[in-house]
A and B are shown apart, each in its own frame.
Chain A
């Protein structure tokens, strides 16, 4: 059933890849890896949005699955026919042309294998994910799949967060639709694949923006972090971090190439973030401000394309929030806002915990300390990559919004921090690592000077 679930992802990955390929520079082969690893977010995103509209319109999920499968099949045949002459296996070799770096490839392969091993051991030891996952996400999948036309009963749940958006729950439902069974192995397979897609995306962005050696370094460092297997706890935080990473990477690519088609994808992913978690709504605000600033300097066309991409997922989220979801507990329960905002002890306590969370990212070893030392020693790259400021803006804005959320939370602050802070900081961790390793000198730069 695990492998069947994996197979059921293929139509959605095809949909994702096709959409990216249609929007973004179909002739370029340089960014093939990015397109491949990005197809997860876009494909699962489209599937989840359309399947939501489908069931909300009163149709059966099984019919949706058949239509989705046929559409994916049509797209494969269409692209194969259209590009038959262009398909040349030799081109694939360009992705892996680093024969001289066999050792690095070997280490990378072993590390990726180890990553898979960590994911499997974590995933199968907690088949339904951690408590937050089954009480907030997987339970919704069950309501939709088992409930049929009565799926809206999920909003009657007495406890949990019925206002959470449906990206992860509907992805599970569609998988169950394909395999015809609500197996717990499907969510495991989904988070397993998403973890690999995120790793691959980080690698491919750094490879495209910097170089191969820097990409190897960041990938191995990422695998080394215990927090990176968080995906297998089946929460929506990992998919959100993947989407934020995708937005950040595409933003840097935009600054590098000035291809405005990328903005449609950035807009779509931003809307998708809001469909993944409520924190994604903050990202919509964050990114819209960012693109307004960029449009102010680079022209209105940028903002138009961004909004074009953003529109569809955002409309779905707005409809969901207005017509279906109950009010959010933090928003509706917030009280003593002014008093809490001006409480210095509260502010310092939150900041102290943020600091401790970041310092603890490496597990037993403080990764932040090591990275700070590394930054000081290695320093800024001479190959300037513009747009790093946008990554810093995104990360800081997002963290600042979380800081405000803790400040005004109606829940016990200590409990709220303990149960969520490491998940929330993880949202921006891959993004920060991407920005950092694009800004830093790569091993190639450091070693080339020696030869000179």
Chain B
């Protein structure tokens, strides 16, 4: 009987300190988060993939005529006919950077953006598939291809 009363008393005490324990756990977790966040705060340099990507695209974006709203997009995977190497992230980055111009995969459009990791066979590919064209090279494997009237 004494044991039961004792256990009930202990339980009551645990109940009363439970919110304090939860409070302390939460504060400790916040402390750990502050500790983790301090190095991140020192390294703030506004630099993610997009911030690194956008300056590369700036001149290409400026070269697109104002009345062009929809352009084609080709990358290494199309030249080499290897769909597996299609870089979806770079295509999405390109779409984000050149908005409000919409990208369409392929070379059906009059204006095409080329994004190549290796452009050694580009001219041969263009000669074969587009025939009459003019290109602007923006470095980093980036090209603006303009189909000309045949």
Contacts and interface: CB of A to CB of B under 8 A. Distances in A.
Classify the secondary structure of B's interface with A: helix
Contacts of B77: none
Nearest to A220: B26
Nearest to B29: A224
A213 B43 CA distance: 37
B102 to A, nearest CB: 4
A125 B15 contact: no
Contacts of B29: 224-225, 362-363, 365
B99 A221 contact: no
Interface in B74-103: 88-89, 91-92, 95-96, 99-103
B22 A221 contact: yes
Interface string B47-90: 01111000000000000000001100100000000000000110
A160 B88 CA distance: 10
A114 interface: yes
Contacts of B49: 131
B63 to A, nearest CB: 16
B22 A374 contact: yes
Contact of B18 (A144, A225, A374): A374
Contacts, number: 137
Interface stretch (A36-44, A52-60, A148-156): A148-156
Nearest to B99: A142
B51 A127 contact: yes
A225 B26 CA distance: 8
B104 interface: yes
Contacts of B20: 443
Nearest to A373: B18
A217 B22 contact: yes
Nearest to B18: A377
B95 A443 contact: no
Contacts of B89: 131
Contacts of B102: 143, 153-154, 156-158
User: Which interface residue of A120, A153, A158 has the most chain B CB atoms within 10 A?
Assistant: A158
Contacts of B6: none
A378 B15 CA distance: 5
Interface in A207-265: 213, 217, 220-221, 223-226
Interface stretch (B31-39, B116-124, B141-149): B31-39
Q: How large is the interface on B (under 10, 10 to 19, 20 to 34, 35 or more residues)?
A: 35 or more
B131 interface: no
B30 A111 contact: yes
A127 B18 contact: no
B40 interface: yes
B30 to A, nearest CB: 5
Interface residues of A, number: 56
B105 A158 contact: yes
A134 interface: yes
A107 to B, nearest CB: 7
A156 B105 CA distance: 11
A365 B30 CA distance: 12
B8 interface: no
Nearest to A223: B30
A244 to B, nearest CB: 22
Contacts of A160: 92, 95
A156 B30 contact: no
Nearest to B73: A158
A225 B69 CA distance: 44
B44 interface: yes
Contacts of B25: 224, 365, 370
A217 B88 CA distance: 44
A158 B15 contact: no
Nearest to A216: B23
Contacts of B37: 117-118, 121
B30 A224 contact: yes
A295 interface: no
A159 B92 contact: yes
B103 to A, nearest CB: 6
A107 B92 CA distance: 44
B89 to A, nearest CB: 7
A142 B96 contact: yes
A135 B96 contact: yes
Contacts of A374: 18, 22
Contacts of A225: 29
A337 B105 CA distance: 30
A128 B48 contact: yes
Interface in A104-157: 107, 111, 114, 117-118, 120-122, 124-128, 131, 134-135, 138-139, 142-144, 146-148, 150-151, 153-154, 156-157
A158 B26 contact: no
B19 A121 contact: no
B5 to A, nearest CB: 17
Given A135-B92, A143-B100, 6 more contacts: A114-B34, A120-B41, A153-B70, A154-B100, A370-B22, A377-B14
19 contacts: A117-B37, A121-B41, A125-B40, A127-B46, A128-B96, A131-B49, A134-B96, A139-B95, A142-B99, A147-B100, A153-B101, A153-B102, A156-B104, A158-B73, A159-B95, A160-B92, A224-B25, A365-B25, A450-B16
Interface of B: 14-16, 18-20, 22-23, 25-27, 29-30, 32-34, 37, 40-41, 43-44, 46, 48-51, 69-70, 73, 88-89, 91-92, 95-96, 99-105
